[in-house]
Amino acid sequence: MKKILSEVCDAYGYIIKALEVMPDHIHIFVDCPVTTAPCDVVRTLKSMSAIQLLKAYPELKRFYARCGKLWSNGYFISSVGHISEAAVKKYIEEQKDDTTRIESLS
């Protein structure tokens, strides 16, 4: 997934500042042109990654056939302004550690 998202970002001129892929969601910090709407960034990342994933792993089509799509409709977008870029990167990097800690408690 990280490779696919990196390729999509490269193709569209987005710069990944931080990325963590979790079992059920993704945290991605992207720098994109100011002329690009944030919802378009999300739409591009979801659609292009779904196309590549379904092509690479056809069995996913059968698994996700009942819901009709790979990605859920939801997403969260925020701009960096009131906090530093370093704080956002640190938060995203720490997400993987939190998941590992939670899974070890289960």
Sorted by where each begins, the domain ranges of the chain are 2-105
Running DSSP on this structure, what letter comes out for residue 73? S
CA distances from 52 to 13, 44, 93 (A): 18, 12, 25
On average, the pLDDT of the chain sits at 83
pLDDT at 99 over 60: no
CATH code at 2-105 = 3.30.70.1290
pLDDT at 102 over 60: no
> pTM value?
0.75
Residue 80 corresponds to which tokens in the numbers above?
């960096």
Q: What is the mean pLDDT of residues 89-101?
A: 68
The per-residue pLDDT for 82 is 65
